[in-house]
Every structure is written in C-alpha cells, then in structure tokens.
C-alpha cells in the first residue's frame, strides 16, 4: 500500500464522521466522501499530499455533498432545506492550521454496528465506512461479486434510515460497545481463518481489525474489554506467519516454528493484558487474551501450561458460555486428562449448535488419533474436510486422514 493509499484509508472515518455529525445523512455523506477520496487519489498522486490533508478532504467532501443534494431535483424541497443548513464557512477552505479536531470514530462504529443490521451487514458497513475499503475489496474479502456486496451495503444504509439511526451516543453505551467489539472480533476471525476460499488467512482483514481496535482502545482507555480484544488480536496475529507453510498449507499450533512468531507483538499483547487484568473487571475477551498469552509464553508446544489453559477456559465458560468455548475447552481437557475424557465432552456437543460443523469433526479426529483409533480418526478427518469451506483447511484435513490410513496400513503389516 502506498503512502497516499494509507493516508486516505486512515482519514476516511474522520472525514465521514465529521460530515455525518454535521448533516445526519449517512448515505449521501458516505457517497460524498467516496467521491472526495477519488479526487484526492488523483490530485495527491499527481501534485503531492497537501499540507493539511484532513482539511482538504473535509472541504472537498462537503462540496460533493452539496452537489449531491443539489442534483436531486425530485427532492427540491429537501435539497433547499439541507443546503440552507450548510454553514457558509463550511464550503470554504479551512485556515492553514485548521484540521478537524474531533475524532468521530466511536460514533461511526456505533452507527455501522447498529442492532437493526445483521452481522454480515455490520461488518460490510464497518469495512466500507470506517476501514475505508472499497466495495470491490470487501466483495473480494467475502468471496461475493461486487454487485452483491454493493447491494448489501446499500440495503444496510437504507435499513439505518428505516430504523431511524442517529449519529449520536447510543442510549445503552455498554450494549452498543459489546456489539462493536463483537463485529471487530468477527472481522479479525474472518481474516485469521477465512471461512471460504483458497487462502487460510486474509492479513488485510486482520490488519484492519487490529487498526480499528487499537483506535477504539485509544478512545476508550478505561474499557477493559476493548484492551482485552486488542491484546487477543496482537497475541493471535503474532503467530500468523507460522500458520502456513511455503505452499500456503495449514500448520497447526503444535507444529509451528515458534522462531517465526512476532515477538514484538507478543510483548505488546502480553503487557497489555497483564496490566488490564490487574486494573479492570475480568471479561471474556481478556480471558481469551490470557489464554493466547499462555500459548505465547511456551518455548515449545510441550512446554504449554495446559492446566492453566484449562482453568482459563473454565472461567471463560462461566463468563460467556458458548459451544465454541466448550469445543476449545475440550481440546485443553484432552491435553490435561487424556483424549477419552475430551471425547465424552464432544458427545454432548454433537447435540448442540456445532452439530455438523467441520471444526467439531476436526477436533474429534484429533482426539481419536491421539487415543490410537486411527480408523475412526481418518473417517472423522474426511468428514471434516467435506464440511470445511476453506481450501487450505480441506487439504490439511485430507492429509491428516491419509496419515491415519498409512499408519493403519503399517500396523497391519508389522
């Protein structure tokens, strides 16, 4: 990414926030900012970045917004009322030392993560309005056609209008923040383990999630869960480079080359979660970050403090019980008490929301292989591969199934 692209992407939420706060018309403001970004990409590449880029973008976006209002002849009355409401000095270039002082990131995140929207719509709108990605980039991230993603974003903006969403602090800030954190968490997870497509990871999505969560933490330094989520992302993404081999194949945690882990990110994440746990009430993201920190502290897979990991999963289950937490806890239980104890837990999960999910069968296969039942393990690996949407995961699971079959053949001939 060039310096101009990076500057435009990081400036987008501040400029959009300024316009939405001023006019309250999210759809038109977002269109106006996108047009200003196109103008800036051309002008800045040709003439260089102006001395006050945010002021430049805000001025151009304001003019584009006024143009959009004027051009809507079918709504002449609204056009006149809105245009009259535009402060005259807002259409003039700001003085040299006038950059937009207010940071509207938090309000913009709240708006994009409005509860009236579905989770996919929240993520798409967040990537478009806050992360500054184009519709084509978002479509590529979720493996859908540009037209489909464009329609999804348009419907999301229309739904905001229908729901009467306002650019203002929410009535229930704690609940709204929980939704924002969840959307950022989902965004990171999609980048870290893509649900479909040929690649295991989408570093562009994880980078956006880390950037936005870092900015959110800066805005809300007293939020233990914002800090916990940032620490979790840093500690998890620190392993990113070691999760794939030379040909993009999946490398499980126990087999990763830990010299490839990002030690600077691990140090930052560990320090952040250590300070947060000592100063804030414990929340689910903090506990997940603590689990990631335990893994990061182990020099080898054998050195992992599995009893501590299991204890943390026990705590996480009490704070935020879920089928995914129970599945991850089963893995830790298998390391502490043996695979058979963990398989008993999986039998219960098969009747819950994870029934038919490839990760459930992948964990079952792993535990069966450890228990010595390679025939059943191979079948579970193959079933997991059939259910997985990601090509890299499919290949990994089929290779594990082949390994089980080869071990069975070897044992039958010796």
pLDDT, tens digit (0-9, with 9 covering 90-100), for 2-56:
778 878 888 888 899 899 888 888 888 988 898 998 899 888 988 888 988 889 9
Apex CA 280: angle with CA 277 and CA 286, to 5°? 45
SS3 content of the chain, % helix, strand, coil (to 5): 75, 0, 25
Is residue 120 domain-resident? no
What does the buried/exposed string (b/e) look like for 97-132 if buried means 16 or more CB atoms within 10 Å of the residue's CB?
A: eeebeeebbbbbbbbbbbeebeeebbbbbbbbbbbb
Task: Please report the pLDDT score of residue 105 as a whole number.
Answer: 77
Token code pair at residue 392: 């890299």
Question: For the CA atoms of 310, 315, 319, 323, what is the dihedral angle to 10 degrees?
Answer: 20
Is residue 404 domain-resident? no
Measure the CA–CA gap between 368 and 331, rounded to whole angstroms. 12
Is residue 52 domain-resident? yes
Closest CA to 109 of 36, 213, 189: 213
The phi and psi torsions of 390 (rounded to 5 degrees) equal -90, 130
Domain count, the chain: 1
Task: Please report the pLDDT score of residue 369 as a whole number.
Answer: 95
Is residue 380 domain-resident? no
Measure the CA–CA gap between 374 and 365, rounded to whole angstroms. 8
What sign does the CA torsion over 142, 143, 148, 149 have? positive
Looking at residue 321, what DSSP letter applies?
-
Task: Please report the pLDDT score of residue 128 as a whole number.
Answer: 86
Task: Please report the pLDDT score of residue 222 as a whole number.
Answer: 93
Contact 22, 28 (CB under 8 A): no
Instruction: State the residue range of the domain holding 12.
Output: 3-91
Contact 133, 187 (CB under 8 A): no
Task: Please report the pLDDT score of residue 100 as a whole number.
Answer: 47
Measure the CA–CA gap between 1 and 64, rounded to whole angstroms. 26
Is residue 195 domain-resident? no
End-to-end CA distance of the chain: 57
Measure the CA–CA gap between 172 and 149, rounded to whole angstroms. 30
Is residue 69 domain-resident? yes
Is residue 86 domain-resident? yes
Residues of the chain with pLDDT under 50: 91, 93, 96, 99-101
Looking at residue 115, what DSSP letter applies?
T
Measure the CA–CA gap between 176 and 17, rounded to whole angstroms. 17
Is residue 270 domain-resident? no
Strand partners, 197: 390
Give one DSSP letter per residue of 247-282, joined into a string: TS-B--GGG--GGGS-HHHHHHHHHHHHHHHHHS--
């Amino acid at each position: 990414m060039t310096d101009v692209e990076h500057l435009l992407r990081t400036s987008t939420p501040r400029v959009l926030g300024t316009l939405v706060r001023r006019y309250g018309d999210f759809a038109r403001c977002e269109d106006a900012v996108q047009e200003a970004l196109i103008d800036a990409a051309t002008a800045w590449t040709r003439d260089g970045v102006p001395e006050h880029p945010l002021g430049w973008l805000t001025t151009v976006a304001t003019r584009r917004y006024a143009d959009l209002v004027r051009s809507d002849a079918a709504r002449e009355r609204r056009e006149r009322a809105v245009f009259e409401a535009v402060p005259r000095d807002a259409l003039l270039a700001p003085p040299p030392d006038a950059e937009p002082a207010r940071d509207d990131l938090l309000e913009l995140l709240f708006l994009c993560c409005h509860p009236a929207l579905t989770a996919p719509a929240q993520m798409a709108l967040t990537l478009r309005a806050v992360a500054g990605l184009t519709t084509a980039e978002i479509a590529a991230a979720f493996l859908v056609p540009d037209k489909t993603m464009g329609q999804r974003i348009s419907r999301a903006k229309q739904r905001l209008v229908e729901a009467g969403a306002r650019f203002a602090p929410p009535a229930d800030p704690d609940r709204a923040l929980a939704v924002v954190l969840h959307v950022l968490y989902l965004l990171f997870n999609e980048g870290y383990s893509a649900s479909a497509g040929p690649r295991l990871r989408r570093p562009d999505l994880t980078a956006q999630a880390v950037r936005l969560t870092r900015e959110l933490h800066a805005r809300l330094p007293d939020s233990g869960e914002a800090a916990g989520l940032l620490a979790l992302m840093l500690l998890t993404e620190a392993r990113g480079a070691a999760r794939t081999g030379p040909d993009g194949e999946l490398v499980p945690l126990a087999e990763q080359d830990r010299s490839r882990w990002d030690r600077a990110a691990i140090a930052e994440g560990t320090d952040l979660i250590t300070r947060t746990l000592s100063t804030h009430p414990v929340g689910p993201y903090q506990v997940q970050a603590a689990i990631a920190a335990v893994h990061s502290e182990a020099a080898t897979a054998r050195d992992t403090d599995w009893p501590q990991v299991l204890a943390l999963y026990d705590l996480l289950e009490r704070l935020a019980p879920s089928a995914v937490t129970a599945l991850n806890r089963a893995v830790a239980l298998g390391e502490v008490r043996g695979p058979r104890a963990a398989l008993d837990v999986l039998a219960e999960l098969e009747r819950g929301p994870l029934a038919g999910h490839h990760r459930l069968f992948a964990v079952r296969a792993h535990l069966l292989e450890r228990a010595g039942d390679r025939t059943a393990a191979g079948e579970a690996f193959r079933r997991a591969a059939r259910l997985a949407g990601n090509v890299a995961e499919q290949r990994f699971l089929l290779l594990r199934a082949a390994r089980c079959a080869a071990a069975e053949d070897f044992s039958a001939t010796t």
